[in-house]
A and B are shown apart, each in its own frame.
Chain A
Amino acid sequence: MPETTAGGVIAIGWLQLVLATGFVLLVGAISLRLALGIEKELAIATARTYLQLALLGLVLRWVFGIDSPLVVVAILVFMMAAAAQTIVRRAPDAPRGILGSSMLAILLTGFTVTFAVTGLIVQVEPWYRAQYVIPIAGMVLGNSMNGIALALERTFADMDSRAGEILALTALGATPWEAAGDTVRVAIRAGLIPTINSMAAAGIVFIPGMMTGQVLAGADPLHAAYYQIVVMLMVSAATALGSVLAVMLSFRKRFSAEGVYVEKGYRS
Chain B
Amino acid sequence: MLLIAEHLSYPAEPQPGAPRVFDGVNLVLEPGELVDVVGPSGSGKTTLLRALARLLPGVGGTLVFAGAAAESVVPAEWRRHIALVPQQAVMRSGTVADNLLLPWSLRVRAQETAPDADQLREALDSVGLHEITLDRDAAKLSVGQAARVALLRVALTAPDILLLDEPDANLDDASADQVRAITARFVGGGGAVVRVRHLRSDDLAARRLRLSGGRLTGEV
Contact = CB atoms under 8 A, between A and B. Distances in A.
Contacts of A259: 75-76
Residue from B88, B106, B107, B154 having most chain A Cβ neighbours under 10 A: B106
A39 to B, nearest CB: 45
A3 interface: no
B7 interface: no
Given A164-B86, A259-B75, A173 B109 contact: yes
Contact of B53 (A165, A171, A257): A171
Interface string B134-176: 0000000000000000100110010000000000000000000
A178 B102 CA distance: 11
B48 to A, nearest CB: 14
A172 B79 contact: yes
Contacts of B86: 164, 167-168, 171
Chain A residues touching B, majority SS: loop
A170 B154 contact: no
B68 interface: no
Interface string A151-172: 0000000000000110111111
B53 A173 contact: no
A51 B153 CA distance: 63
A111 to B, nearest CB: 33
A171 B84 contact: yes
B102 A167 contact: no
B90 A175 contact: no
A262 interface: yes
Interface string B91-117: 010000000001101111100000000
B107 A266 contact: no
Contact of A173 (B58, B103, B153): B103
Interface in A211-268: 256-260, 262, 266, 268
A168 B57 contact: no
Contact of A260 (B57, B80, B88): B57
B57 to A, nearest CB: 4
A174 interface: yes
Contacts of A268: 15, 58
A127 B103 CA distance: 52
A266 B57 CA distance: 8
B28 to A, nearest CB: 22
B85 A171 contact: yes
B107 A172 contact: no
Contacts of A169: 90, 102, 106
Contacts of B88: 164
B179 interface: no
B55 interface: yes
Nearest to A255: B57
B69 interface: no
B83 interface: yes
Contacts of B45: none
B56 interface: yes
B197 interface: no
B107 A178 contact: yes
B107 A170 contact: no
Interface string A178-202: 1000000000000000000000000
Residue from B80, B86, B90 having most chain A Cβ neighbours under 10 A: B90
The 5 closest A-B pairs by CB, nearest first: A256-B57, A173-B108, A168-B90, A171-B84, A258-B75
Given A172-B83, A172-B154, A268-B15, 11 more contacts: A164-B88, A164-B90, A172-B102, A174-B106, A174-B108, A175-B108, A178-B107, A256-B57, A257-B57, A260-B55, A266-B58
Interface of A: 164-165, 167-175, 178, 256-260, 262, 266, 268
